[in-house]
Amino acid sequence: MEDQWRRETKPIDFEGGIFMPYSWTVGRVGSRFFIELRDNGRIMASACRKCKDIWVPPRMRCPVCFSEIDEDAWVEIGPEGTLRHYTVVRYDHKAQPIKPPFAYAIIDLDGATRGFTHLVYGTELEDLKSGTRLKPVFALDPQGNILDIEYFTPVGGQGG
Amino acid sequence: MKKVGVVGIAQTRFERRITDRNYADLVYEVTTGALEDAGMTIQQIDNVVTVSNDFLDGRTISSMAVMDACGAYGKNVSTVEGDGMFGVVYGAMRIWSDSFGTTLIVAHSKGSDGPSNLITNAMFDPIYHRPLGLDAISSAALQARAYMDRLGADPEDWARASVKNHGNAKKNPFAQLPLDLTVEEVLSSRPVADPLKLLDCSPISDGACAIILADEENAHESRQRPVWIKGVGYAAELHYLGDRDLSRPIALVEAAKRGYKMAGIGNPGREIDFLEVYDAFSYMEPLWLEGLGFCEAGEGGKLLRDGITELNGSMPVNASGGVLSAHAVLVAGLVRVAEVVLQIRGTAGNHQIERARIGLAHGINGPCGQSHCVVILGDY
Amino acid sequence: MGRRVAIIGFGQTHHSARRWDVNGLELIQEAVVRALDDAEMTLEEIDAVVIGNMDHFEGINYVDTWSVEGAGAFMKPIFKVTTGGTTGTTVAIAAYYHVASGLFNNVMAIGWEKNSESDTTGAIITCSDPVWDRFSYSGAIPSLAVEASAYMREYGVTEEDGARVTVRDRGNAMNNPYAHLREAVTIEDVMYSQMLTEPIKLLDICPRSDGAAAVIFSREDVAEKRCPKPAWIHAVSVRHDTTWFGDIDYTRLTSLEGASKEVFRIAGIKEPVKELDVCELYLPYSFAGLKWMESIGLCGPGEAPRFVADGHTDMGGTLPVNPSGGVLSTNCIGATGLLRVGETALQIFGRAEKRQVEGARLAMATGFGGCFWSDALIVGAGKPQ
- Residue C1: its pLDDT value, please? 56
Does residue B47 have a pLDDT over 80? yes
Q: How far apart are CA C236 and CA B76, in angstroms?
A: 9
Asked if C62 has any chain A CB less than 8 Å from its own CB, the reply is no
Chain C residues within 8 A of B80 when measuring between CB atoms: 79-81
Q: Chain B residue closest to C376 (CA)?
A: B76
| Residues C58, A63: C-beta atoms closer than 8 Å | no
Contacts of A89 in chain B (CB under 8 A): 138, 141, 193
pLDDT at A2: 58
Is residue B166 within 8 A of residue B177, CB to CB? The reply is yes
Whether the predicted pLDDT of B308 surpasses 60: yes
- Other chains touching A, judged by 3 or more CB pairs under 8 Å: B, C
Q: Is the ipTM of this complex over 0.90?
A: yes
What are the tens digits of pLDDT across the range A39-97? 999 999 999 999 999 999 999 999 999 999 998 999 999 999 999 999 999 999 999 99
- Interface residues of B toward A, Cβ cutoff 8 Å, are 13, 15, 18-20, 58-59, 115, 117-118, 121, 126-135, 137-139, 141-142, 144-146, 149, 190-196, 238, 240-243, 246
> A17 pLDDT band (50/70/90 cuts)?
confident
> B353 — phi, psi (to 5°)?
-100, 160
**In order of start, what are the domains of chain B with their CATH numbers?**
4-115+205-219 (3.40.47.10), 227-378 (3.40.47.10)
CA distance B18 to A24: 36
The distance of C154 to chain B (nearest Cα, Å) reads: 26
CB C280 within 8 A of CB C324: yes
- Give the integer Cα–Cα distance in Å for B225 and C131: 42
Phi first, then psi: what are they for C261, rounded to 5°? -55, -45
pLDDT band at A4 (very low <50, low <70, confident <90, very high): confident
C-beta of residue B273 within 8 angstroms of C-beta of residue B309:
no
Query: Amino acid identity of B259?
Result: G
* pLDDT of amino acid B117: 96
Give the Cα-Cα-Cα angle A39, A44, B367 (nearest 5 degrees).
Answer: 115
B340 pLDDT tier (thresholds 50, 70, 90)? very high
Instruction: Specify the pLDDT at position C188.
Output: 98
pLDDT at residue A160, as a whole number: 37
Angstroms from A79 CA to nearest CA on chain B: 16
Choose from A20, A53, A62 for mutation: most chain C CBs within 10 A. A20
Residues in chain B: 380
Interface of B with C in 245-304 (CB under 8 A): 250-251, 254-255, 258
What's the sign of the alpha-carbon dihedral C345, C351, C353, C357?
positive
* Residues of chain C under the 50 pLDDT cut: none
Instruction: List B231's β-bridge partners, or say none.
Output: B376
pLDDT in tens, B247-285: 999 999 999 999 999 999 999 999 999 999 999 999 999
So what's the pLDDT on residue A18? 84
Among B336, B377, B92, B371, residue whose Cα is nearest residue B234:
B371
Cis peptide before C384 (omega within 30 of 0): no
Residue type, A68: E
The band of A157, judged by pLDDT with boundaries at 50, 70 and 90, is: low
Q: Are B231 and B263 in contact (CB under 8 A)?
A: yes
pLDDT of residue A158 exceeding 60, the answer is: no
Alpha-carbon gap, residue B274 to B271, rounded angstroms:
9
Count the neighbouring beta carbons within 10 Å of the beta carbon of residue B74: 12
What superfamily would CATH give domain C5-120+205-380?
Thiolase/Chalcone synthase (3.40.47.10)
User: Exposed (0-12), middle (13-18) or buried (19+): which is B25, by Cβ within 10 Å?
Assistant: middle
Tell me the average pLDDT of chain A. Answer: 94
Given 3-state DSSP classes, what are the helix, strand and coil percentages for chain C, each rounded to the nearest 5? 40, 20, 40
Residue scoring higher pLDDT (A38 or A126): A38
